Structures are given as structure tokens and as C-alpha cells.
Structure 1
């Protein structure tokens, strides 16, 4: 699998961003450090010059040095410094205006001055009627500054290298978990099964790895469920098709009578039709394309409609279908979808009841129940009664059950209407399937008519 290492990769961008930030910080620190160091050196040089001139003035007062025979004063020089013994007037001419003013008013001055185009720092004092001026070449001061500048440059270079290393490590630490998630996601999209990602790093990166692991696990569960569902559906579709084909061949070979073959083909075709209808309904639910409009609904009217719809079927099976809805039965539900769910329950109850049995539809506030006196369901099967094909696999041979999807659709519809479906059963004495909704006042009777005519 190709890993991204180009200029647009997260690691590269993080590295460049962190490195640039650290580099800018290093340059700023170097510049500020250079300025502060230069200022500190200048201050120290002036203080040293002040101390020197103070010593010279004290020595001059104790043992005056002659100014010389010329009117220009006396000048003494070393390799780095110049000492001038002048009259105050001569000193004022040598010093800049600001320095001359300080010398007149305070008897001392310091600063910088250009002598014949060469820069000097100076310190001047008045003593014993003379002006003592000590000068030091600013160029020599710059030479003193150079070692500090070199040291700062070396420190900046070392800092830049360390900054690059830190930037690389930080970029890798942040990008590596993200890269792992990206590669695992690509592997998952290609149909492979990547190993769970290690949950490590910062809180956000740990959450990212955890979310991916949960997504991968949920996807695998969904894929397994889908494969099992398709296998089961394929089997259920194959059963009626095999029966239809077998009886068609038997009819062609005159092995069975046309009446018998037609009866079996019609029955299996009806089962196939029910199965396809249930599959389509379930697919719509999974796509959330069902329109579910929750409003105050009279469950009594829903029960009356279900009774009228299934009375012919009950008569064909020899089952007594009765209604128990004595008073108002309001609930927050979708009338049309509640009728669809109730119809599935009634159809299952009629089909499973024996001839002469009774199926009762009971409507009370917030609840629709279907009570039958059929063979019932074993206690260990109640928790899985609404799973697809579960009851079909358990009782399909012994009982005339439906497609195996009806109860799953009922559960989906109940959930979509913010309700639930329950079942209680006693083996050999029947079952009670109930749809439970939020109770509500009974609406105007004309409202339900509009719901069922969509």
C-alpha cells in the first residue's frame, strides 16, 4: 500500500510548520540577544572608561600632568586609548554639543564622538582647572563584540539543528497514528480486514483510533449479518421456487392431477409473493424511506380497520376474529403504519391458530394487542421472536408460519413510531403480541380517515 510522503502529506506539513515556527523563534531570539548583548557591552565599556578617567583625574589632582607647551593641550596615546589634557574650552570644542553641555553643567560627560572621521567612545572630567578626556576607539569595541556574535551564531546553528530534530519527531508522533488510520481505512474499503489499531498518543489520537476500531467492528458485524440474511433469504426463495418447479414438472409428466399441482403452485406463489413484499418493506425501513408522521391517533379505529381487512382470511381459516375496543384508545402514532404493523400480527395469529380458534384484537389507550389461543412460543424463544427468520427456522416445519420477516418488520415499525412491540406466551395456550405507544387524547374521528387514504 502506497504511503503519502509528498509535499502535501500531513507529516511533511507538520514538519515544515513546526520547523518554520522554531526557526523564526530562533532568529528572533538571536536578533534580540545580539541587540541586548551589544548594548550590555557598550554600557560596560563606558563604565570602564568612566572608572579609568576618574582614576586619572584623581592622580592629576594629586600630581598635575602638564598640558604641554602648545596651545592644543597634551595628548597621550596607547594602542587602544587616547588621553587628552585640555582646557575646558578646548574640551568643549572636541566633544559634541551634548557632551560639552554636560561637561559644563556637571563636570563630567561620556558618549561617542567622531575624531577625523573615526568613531570613539569617551569619558570627560573637569579637575584642577583642566579637562581630562579619555577616548577609546569604537572599532576596537566592535572587535570585542565579535566573539559574542560568533558564539550567538554557533548557538543559533545548534538551536536550528535541534529545532529540526524536534520538528521531525513531533510531526512523526502526530502523523503516524493518522497515517495508520488512513491506511487501515483504505484497507477496509478494499474489502480487507485490518488488525485493530493501537490506542495510543494524545487524547484526540486515542479517540480517533478507538472510533476506527469501533467502526471496523460494527462494519464486520453488519457484513456478517448481511451475508447471513442473504443466505437465509436465498434459501427461503429457493424453497417455494423448488416446489413450484417440481409440481410443474410433475404436472407435465402427468404424475399429479392438475388440481393438486395448481393448489401447491398457488400456495407457494402466495408464499413467494409475501416473502418478496416483506423484503421490500424491510428494505424501505432500512433506507428510512418510510414516511412516519406521529400524531394523536385513535387505536380503536386502527383495530376496526384491521378487523375488516382480515375478516375474510379468518373465515377461510375457520378462525373467529373478534374485536375488543370498548372505549377511546388514543396514542401518539402513525395511523397507517400502526395498521400495517397490526395487520402483520393479526395475519400471523390467524395462520397459526387452529380451526375453530379465536383471535382477538384489543385496543386500549396507547396499546394494540393481538391475543390468540394457538400453540404458543417456548420461553427460550421469546427474546428472539422478532429476529428475522428465527421463528420460521424454529417452527416452520410444524406450523404454517409466514415469510419469517413479518415480526421483524413489526419491530422496525414500532421503533420508527417511538414505541415498542412485546410478546408473552404460554406454550399450548396461545400468545399475546402487543404494540405499545405513548398515550394521548383521542383525536377527531375524521383524522384517521385521512391517514388511511394515503
Structure 2
């Protein structure tokens, strides 16, 4: 086991202890927090980028204006072009009005000056920590620099600058016009907007927490009802149902859960009925066996008769148990083992076997010659069971027909008798376990009511079904309807 495995299990265990409502809200808050943070960061980045573009534009604008003035300006005192950088800078700066974070400075390299520079400035009352005009060292570096623009990173704050050198003539000292911008103000504005967005995001998250908690509770209310209803369900009480409201996915979930409960209730009811019927069917032969054994005397003839009755009842119990096991096996996937079978040969084999069940007017009504994928043993078992059922409800000499026919994409195998038939009210119940038709029960009907249920299970195992149809002239016809290409 790796070292990360215990941590993963702990996280999984903790996640299971958190309610679905809290998890939904937590994920919603995480997604919103990430989205809002991304928006705030993107806004700040965009503001800083715009500020950088504005500073670059401002530097280019001021230097271009000065360059044009140098080429086209005139000294107001002489009316001639400027030949001295000092009046040039003085006149130009007097006509400028810089932005709050901007400095316009004229520099003249004068060794005789105290700091080696003559400076001329035009600007507002700047609120920066230390204006560039007061930083003689930085001004000297800018004047001596071979570049016309750059960035100064000082302890007192960063400065973006650009300069226009003034060509010296007539022995004048080197000079330059410098534009300096302090970006701290623009960056502080971007930071203020960023902080404001964070504050708004925090308020939005708080509102989302409250609203999301309420909305998640309303959405998950049917789920809580499902959980509460499931906790109240017992094997004895499956009547609880969830109220369905609306037509959304939650309502569909409630309807599905209610349908599942309906199926469970029917299944448990059928199970209880099955157990009751099975107990009743087995209790009767047990009572008969016990009664005869308790009353059995010493007379050899009486003992022989008792043994015969006991063996018959034990055989009946054995058949009931075997039928129950067969019906239980019908739920397994290996109940049916299909293989290619010739229906004509199968029909003839069933007819031969059925003739031994009783003295009836047996007739082979027809045998279709087709090859179908089916389990011949199970189909034979079902057909023989139908033939046995026909024998039990007919008398000697009555007609019983066995046959098969091709009906489009289906194959039908049938057993038709000329007995009393089946009442309409019994047609739906005779295929259920331990159920017998009232009109067909008589002294000869000694079965447990499992034969037709087995026939139905075999037909459905082949992907088909069994039908009850009336026989022309009176009687009942049981038909196994199987698909030619059906796959069990």
C-alpha cells in the first residue's frame, strides 16, 4: 500500500459523511470562487495592460510634440529659430500642462552648476514619493544614456521615461527634453479595482451560499423523501409512496422509485402467496401419510394398502418439489440450451411419447419441416405436460391433437383437446403457480397446479410465450409460440 492510499481513504470516508446538499453547495462555491477570482485577475491584468499602453502613448506623444516644436518653433524674443537650448526648453515647457503622474523636464549639462545640471520643469504638484526632478543622479544617468527611452527602478518608485536630445550649436552645453511618467498611480488604480472585485465576489459568494443552500434543499427534498420512505419500508409494509410534483428529473426519479415499490410489493405478495400455496400443497400429502400410518393395523392387506397410499403421496410430494426446483431454475441463464432442431422430427417424437399417456383418439394434426434454435428437451417436456393436461380433462376415446405449423416469422407447437374447455375467468390464472381452472377441476385433476406454470416458463425461456385458444367444436388448444430467429 502506498503512502497516499490512507489519505485517499480518509478523504473518501470524510466525503461520505458530508451530505449531498453540502457537497453540491461546496462544489458550487468552489466553481464560483474560481470563476470570480479569474475574472478579477483578468480585469486587473487588462487594466495594467491598458495603463502600459497609455504610458507608451503618452511618452510618444510628448516627445513628438517637442521634436515638432524644435523644427518649427521660433524664439519670441528674437523672432528667429532657437539656437540656445535654454530658451527653447523654457518656452516649450511654459506651454505644457502635464498629467498628474507625468513630469516634463528640460536638462542642460552645465558643469558650473551645483549638481552639474540645469533643470527646467513644468508640472503639477506631484504626489509621488520623490519626483524625478529632485533625483539629480537619475537625471544625469538619463542625460548620459545612449537610449532614448527606458525604465528606472528606484527605491522611491519606478519611472518610465523618454527623451529628445537637443543638438548643441555655438558652444552651448548638451541638453535634452525628458518626459517621465510614474506608473504607480495607474497600478494602484488597477489594484483598487481588483480589491473592489474581490469584495464584490465575497459578497456574491455569501449570497450564493444562502440562496444555494435553500435551492439545494428544495431540489433534494424528493431525494430525502426517497431515503425516508426507503427507511420506513419493511417486508410487511410496502405501501409507502413518494408524492410526485412537477415533470422534471426529480419527479421522474420519484415515479421510478414508486414503480419499483409497486414491483416489490407485487413480488413480495406473489412470494407470500407462493409460500402459502406450496405449504398447503405439501401439507395435504403429509397429513394423508401421517393419518394412514397412525391408523395402520396388523392386517397384511391393510398394511399393503397403507404402504401403497403412502408411496403415492410421497411420489406426489416428490413431483411437487421437482416442479418447484424446475421453476426456480427457470430464472437461471442456463435454463435453456438451444441447438438446431428439426421441428417436424420433434413434433413426431412428442406425438409418440404422448400416446402412452392414456387411451385417447390421438391425432398428428401436422408437422412443419423447419430448423429452429431451441432446447428440444425443454420443448418436449412442455408439450408432454400439455398432453398430460389434455388427458386429465378428457375421457377415453376423446380426440387429442398434436402438431406444429409455420406462421410467418414464428413457429407454433400446439396440443388441442375436445374436453370441457376453460372458462374465460380462468384463462388468465391457469398459468400461475398453484392455480387451477374451476371448470376443469375434477376427480382426475390431482396435480399441484404447477404444470402450466412450467410450460409458461419454458416458452418464455425461449423468448416466446404460451397462448390459450378455443378448439373448434369445443375444448382447449394450448399453443407454444416461438420466434424462428429468437435468442433466449
Q: Do both share a fold (TM > 0.5)?
A: yes
2:464/2:482 contact within 8 Å kept: yes
Match of 2:402 among 315, 338, 361: 361
Which deviates more from structure 2 when the two are superposed, residues 362-371 or residues 28-37? Answer: 362-371
Q: Does the C-alpha gap of structure 1 residues 91 and 290 become closer, same or farther in structure 2, counting only changes over 3 Å?
A: same
SS in 2 for 1:385: coil
Distance in 1, matches of 2:126 and 2:234, equals: 79
- Structure 1, unaligned runs of 5 or more: 85-89, 101-110, 441-454
Deviation at 1:80, TM superposition (A): 0.9
- Provide the residue aligned with 2:457 in structure 1: 412
Match of 1:343 among 372, 377, 384: 384
- Provide the residue aligned with 2:159 in structure 1: 120
Q: CA offsets per residue over residues 160-192 of structure 1, 9 Å max, x none?
A: 435555765676577665565556556558876
Q: Does the C-alpha gap of structure 1 residues 397 and 264 become closer, same or farther in structure 2, counting only changes over 3 Å?
A: farther
Q: Does 1:373 align with 2:418?
A: yes
2:343/2:367 contact within 8 Å kept: no
The structure where helix makes up a greater share of residues is: 1
1:391/1:404 contact within 8 Å kept: yes
- Provide the residue aligned with 2:33 in structure 1: 23
- Provide the residue aligned with 1:73 in structure 2: 118
2:367/2:403 contact within 8 Å kept: no
Q: Does the C-alpha gap of structure 1 residues 132 and 60 become closer, same or farther in structure 2, counting only changes over 3 Å?
A: farther
Distance in 2, matches of 1:248 and 1:45, equals: 116
Q: Does the C-alpha gap of structure 1 residues 274 and 27 become closer, same or farther in structure 2, counting only changes over 3 Å?
A: same
Distance in 2, matches of 1:268 and 1:283, equals: 23
Distance in 1, matches of 2:62 and 2:159, equals: 15
- Provide the residue aligned with 2:327 in structure 1: 282
Distance in 2, matches of 1:94 and 1:324, equals: 123
1:370/1:432 contact within 8 Å kept: yes
Deviation at 1:345, TM superposition (A): 1.1
Deviation at 1:293, TM superposition (A): 1.1
Distance in 2, matches of 1:371 and 1:118, equals: 108
Q: Does 1:7 align with 2:15?
A: yes
TM-score between the two structures when normalised by the length of structure 1: 0.71
Distance in 1, matches of 2:481 and 2:132, equals: 110
Q: How many residue pairs end up in the alignment?
A: 415
Distance in 1, matches of 2:404 and 2:143, equals: 117
Q: CA offsets per residue over residues 2-57 of structure 1, 9 Å max, x none?
A: xx9953344444444333332222222222222222343455567678888969x9
- Provide the residue aligned with 1:228 in structure 2: 273
Q: CA offsets per residue over residues 350-400 of structure 1, 9 Å max, x none?
A: 122224434343355544332333222223323433222332566445652
Distance in 1, matches of 2:415 and 2:157, equals: 113
Deviation at 1:297, TM superposition (A): 2.3
Which deviates more from structure 2 when the two are superposed, residues 375-384 or residues 142-151? Answer: 142-151
Q: Does 1:243 align with 2:288?
A: yes
RMSD, aligned CA = 4.6
SS in 1 for 2:449: coil
Distance in 2, matches of 1:295 and 1:171, equals: 58
Distance in 1, matches of 2:119 and 2:270, equals: 109
Match of 1:215 among 260, 265, 283: 260
2:403/2:414 contact within 8 Å kept: yes
Q: CA offsets per residue over residues 291-317 of structure 1, 9 Å max, x none?
A: 331423234444435534651x41xxx
- Provide the residue aligned with 1:322 in structure 2: 362
Q: Does the C-alpha gap of structure 1 residues 189 and 37 become closer, same or farther in structure 2, counting only changes over 3 Å?
A: farther
TM-score between the two structures when normalised by the length of structure 2: 0.67
Q: Does the C-alpha gap of structure 1 residues 123 and 165 become closer, same or farther in structure 2, counting only changes over 3 Å?
A: farther
1:300/1:325 contact within 8 Å kept: no
Structure with larger RCO (C-alpha < 8 A, sep 6+): 1
Distance in 2, matches of 1:226 and 1:115, equals: 90
2:365/2:401 contact within 8 Å kept: no
1:324/1:361 contact within 8 Å kept: yes
Distance in 2, matches of 1:115 and 1:335, equals: 99
Q: Does 1:94 align with 2:140?
A: no
Q: Does the C-alpha gap of structure 1 residues 27 and 363 become closer, same or farther in structure 2, counting only changes over 3 Å?
A: closer
2:353/2:384 contact within 8 Å kept: no
2:344/2:367 contact within 8 Å kept: no
- Provide the residue aligned with 1:103 in structure 2: none
1:299/1:368 contact within 8 Å kept: no
Q: CA offsets per residue over residues 391-448 of structure 1, 9 Å max, x none?
A: 25664456524221101111111222234333234699432223344569xxxxxxxx
Distance in 2, matches of 1:117 and 1:234, equals: 100
1:80/1:136 contact within 8 Å kept: no
1:420/1:436 contact within 8 Å kept: yes
1:15/1:170 contact within 8 Å kept: no
Distance in 1, matches of 2:185 and 2:208, equals: 35
- Structure 2, unaligned runs of 5 or more: 1-11, 78-86, 92-105, 134-138, 169-174
